[in-house]
Structure 1
Amino acid sequence: MQEHPQDAEQRFSVFYRAHHGAVQAYATRRSPDTETASEVVAETFTVAWRRLDRALAGGRPWLFRTARHSLANALRAERRQRRTAARVAGQRPTASGSVEEQDTGPPVRAALASLRERDREVLMLAYWEDLDTAGLAAALGCTTGTAAVRLHRARRRLRDALDERVPRTTTVPTPDPNEKEATR
């Protein structure tokens, strides 16, 4: 028995209202401009409409994964267009204002920008999008164990990148060799 179109519209409408803000925030944080972010959100929910049962079953992690793919496609298309325009004009293509190039901000943003895209994505999904390990796995398309390992490694790399930018100021006091021990 086929679902009535109004039932599907109703389910989609509820789903859209529940998750639109989270997908919009996700796309806005990762896109070079608001136009690209809006296109990513529209494409994400278009795919969700076409695959409504999968979208409803996958929830927010499924939407983030779909948005990630949509953004990657949009950025690839933008790079192709810049290269083509530069070739026609006889110039070298210029980079967009993506997170990778914005290392002039606070130390955390600079450290995050210095990471590989894979590490940045897992950290942003975990902390900015507030996904647990199961949600990370669904959004990244991997097992829960793999997601946990990727998050652990990304955290370590971020800590190392932060240590390079902001050396730790706390030190362990070393005993003065000229002082005698008080008790023995």
Structure 2
Amino acid sequence: MTPHDRFEAIYDSYYPAIHQYAARRTDSADDTADVISETFLTAWRRLHEVPDGERALLWLYGVARRVLANQQRGASRRAGLADRLRDELAADRPVTPVDLEHVRAAFEELPEGDREVLALACWEGLTSEQIAKVMECTAVAARTRLHRARKRLAARLDRPAVSTISMGEA
């Protein structure tokens, strides 16, 4: 039996059991699918370790259990990070919804190139050299574009927020 045939036999035999195992322990169909795919990916990569016969199912359960534990640890870390980020943002100057709307409106008024270079710098945290690679230009050109985009955004932000609201109502 080839490795491919052996894997297919294991998959066909034990997929329903692993699916039920994962579905009973996850909150969403996506999480269930992730557990199943990771379990069988591990089985494929470590096919030489998968025991024969019924013991293969127990081995797969063990893998699925570890995948679930990793998934839960990841969710816990993400929740902790989100809490810390919320706390850090709350410690900074409070931002009102009007402030956010004013920033969003000013950002959206910018030309696409300005929005892209600002997003790469601010949202993605890229350096001028990295932006240059993404935008396929020199680092000097990237720095210049970023500088000009920041100036244009600052000019739009200097306008009173009320003017953007009244313009939208007119």
Q: What TM-score, normalized by structure 1, do the two folds share?
A: 0.44
Q: What TM-score, normalized by structure 2, do the two folds share?
A: 0.48
Higher relative contact order (CA 8 A, sep 6+): 1
Give the structure with higher Rg (CA): 2
Point out the structure with the larger helix share.
Answer: 2
